[in-house]
Structure 1
Amino acid sequence: MIQIAIFSDVHGNLPALDSVLKDIEKRGISQRFCLGDLVDFAPWGNEVIEKIRDLNIPCLLGNHDERIAFDIPVVPLSKHSKEETQARFLAIGHSKKHITGENKKFLSGLPFHLRLNYKIGGKHWNIQLVHSSLDSNDTYLYESENNEVFNAMLEDSKSDVIVMGHTHLSFKKQFENEKWAINCGSVGRSKEENRLASYLILKLDENKITPEIVQLNYPLEETACQIEKSGIPDYYASFLRNEIISVL
C-alpha cells in the first residue's frame, strides 16, 4: 500500500500548517503535496512559503499565490459583503507589502497543476492535482456541482481521482465508474463549521483507492491573536473564531 498526503489553502496560518505536518509525520507518510494558496489572511506568509520550500513539498500555484507573485490587482467579488471586501483588500495589500522578493519569485515558479502516476503490482493509478480546476485556479466547485462536471475533468485528465482545494470545504464523491472527485479542504482558513485544519490521505493498493479526510485541532486562538497584533484586519480573527460566516 502507498499513502500520500494532500493539503491546500494554508493562507499564512503557520500553527495550522505545523499541526498538519506533524500529524502526517506521525502517521509515517513521506509523500506530501500542497495544492496552493500559501499566503493572505494570517501573518506568517513568508514562514509558510519558506517551510514548504525547505521541506521540498511539491506545491501548486493557487489564485492568491498568483496574485502576490505577479502583483495582480484585487477586484471586488459580488458574493462578499462590504465589510469583507474592505478587509480582503487590506489583507492582500498586507501580503503584497510583506512577502519578500525571494518568496514572490518562488511563488511565481509554481506549477499550475500536477499529474501523478503510481504503479502497484499490475495497476497504474493516475491522480490529478489542481487548485480548483484543470483550466482555472479560481473556479468554485462544490460538492453540489453536477456530477458531469467532475466526470468531464476526470476524462480530460485521464485520471482515476482528481483532488482540489480552493473552496475551503472538503468532500469526497465517488462515481459509478469508481473514480473520485475530492476536495481536501483548507489547512488554515476552513469554512467548515468546526474550523478545523483539514487535509487528505489517499491510500492506494492494487485494487482500490481509499480516501480519508483528516481534520485536526490546532492553536486557533494563537493565530487569531497574532492576526489582531498584525496589520491584517481583525475580520479574519473573528472568522477563525466562527463569529463570521464568509465565502472565499
Structure 2
Amino acid sequence: MRIAVLADIHGNVLALDAVLNDLRQRGGADLIVNLGDCVSGPLWPRETMERIERLDLPTVRGNHDRRVARDPLDDAMWPSDRYAYERLTAAQREALFALPLTLDVAPGVLAFHARPDHDEKYLTDAIVDGRLVRAPLAAIERRLGAIDAACRIILCGHSHRSELIRIAGGPIIFNPGSIGCPAYHDDTPPAHVSEQGSPHARYGIVELHPDRFEAIAVDYDHEAAARQAEQAGRPEWAHALRTGFMSG
C-alpha cells in the first residue's frame, strides 16, 4: 500500500496543486491523507478548501482548522485565521471543526495533526534559543503517551519540519513538513520560529510492507504566493514563502 501524506497546506493552493501534480507523475498513491491546518493564512483559503472538498481526503483537524472555525471574531483572533474565516462559508468552517482529532488510516497507521490528545502541542520538537529543534527522545515518548501496540507508523504535522523518528519498541513517527508555509513565527511564550530552509512545498510518501518513507520537496511558483501575501498586508509571510526562513 502506498500512502501520500499532506500536511499544513495553510491556504496555499498553488503549492497544493504542485504537490498533487508531482504525486501523479510519481504514479499516484492508494491513499492520500491530509494532516490538517488546511486554510489559515493570507493566501487562497476558499480555493484551497474547495480543492480539498473535491478531493474528499481522509483529514484530521489541525489547531488552525479549529481556530478558524471557533475562535471569537475579535481583535485577539490571529490574522491568518481571521483572513481564512472571512473568506470561507459557514458550512466550510463547520466542516473544518467537525474533522476528527485522530484517524486510523490503514492497519497499524495512525494520523493526527500535532499530538494524539492535543491539536496544538508539539510532539517531536523543543524550543531552543527561539527556534524549533528535535526534542529529546524521552520527551517524545512521554508526549506520545499510550499508543495501541498494533500501531507501527504515526503520521503527524504541525511543526512544519520534516522528521523521521523511530521509537524503541514502538512506532516510527513521520512528519513530511509543510506544503504551503515553509517558515513561521509563533509569539506564544516562549516565542519561536520554525524554518524549513527553502521555499519548496513538502509532502511525503509511505510505502507499507516493507515500510519505506520518502520526504519530497517540490518547486512551484512561490513568487506568486509571496505576492499574494504582500497584497494581503503580510510581508513576513511573503519573506517566508520566498526563502523558507523568517526575516530578522
User: Fold-level match, TM-score > 0.5?
Assistant: yes
| CA distance in structure 2 between the partners assigned to 1:109 and 1:232 by the alignment | 30
Aligned partner of 1:172 in structure 2 is: 164
* Counterpart check, 1:95 vs 2:56: no
Structure 1 position 58 matched with structure 2 position 58:
yes
Decide which of 215, 224, 227 is 2:226's aligned counterpart: 224
Kindly tell me: are residues 106 and 14 of structure 1, through their superposed partners in 2, closer, same or farther at Cα, counting changes over 3 Å? same
TM-superposed deviation, 1:116? 2.8
Look up the equivalent residue of 2:78 and give its one-letter code. Answer: F
Deviation at 1:155, TM superposition (A): 4.6
Q: Distance in 1 between matches of 2:18 and 2:55?
A: 15
Contact 1:225–1:237 (CA under 8 A) maintained in structure 2? yes
- Counterpart position of 1:138: 120
Query: Contact (CA 8 Å) 2:42, 2:83: kept in 1 or not?
Result: no
User: How far did 1:127 drift?
Assistant: 0.8
Alpha-carbon distance in 1 for matches of 2:180, 2:156: 15
8 Å contact from structure 1 (residues 90, 232) kept in 2: no
Which position in structure 2 is the counterpart of 1:123?
A: none
Q: In structure 2, what is the Cα distance between the partners aligned to 1:187 and 1:72? A: 27
**What is the identity percentage for the equivalent residue pairs of Structure 1 and Structure 2?**
28
Among 122, 138, 143, which residue is 1:148 paired with?
138
* Deviation, structure 1 residue 73: 6.6
CA contact 1:43–1:226 (8 Å) conserved in 2 = yes
**Does 1:192 find its partner at 2:196?**
yes
Which letter does structure 2 place at the counterpart of 1:156?
A: I
How many Å separate the matches in 2 of 1:75 and 1:144? 33
Q: TM-score, normalised by structure 1?
A: 0.82
Provide closer, same or farther for how the CA distance between residues 155 and 16 of structure 1 changes in structure 2, counting only shifts above 3 A.
Answer: same
Q: 1:177 to 1:74 in 2, by over 3 A?
A: farther
Q: How does 1:16-165 map to 2 (within 5 A)?
A: 16-28=15-27, 29-72=29-72, 89-118=78-107, 126-141=108-123, 142=125, 144-151=134-141, 153=144, 155-158=146-149, 159-165=151-157
Q: RCO greater where, 1 or 2, for CA within 8 Å and sep 6 or more? A: 1
Structure 2 unaligned residues grouped into runs of 5+: 126-132, 183-194
Q: Describe the superposition over 1:141-191 as per-residue Cα deviations: whole angstroms up to 9, x where unpaired.
A: 326223234445375243111111000110111244373111111000022
Seen in structure 2, the aligned counterparts of structure 1 residues 131 and 75 have a Cα distance that, compared at 3 Å, is: farther
Two-structure CA RMSD over aligned residues (Å): 2.3
Q: Which runs of 5+ in 1 are unaligned?
A: 77-87, 119-125
Aligned residue pairs: how many? 224
Return the offset for 1:243: 7.9
Q: CA–CA distance in 2 between the matches of 1:115 and 1:211? A: 18
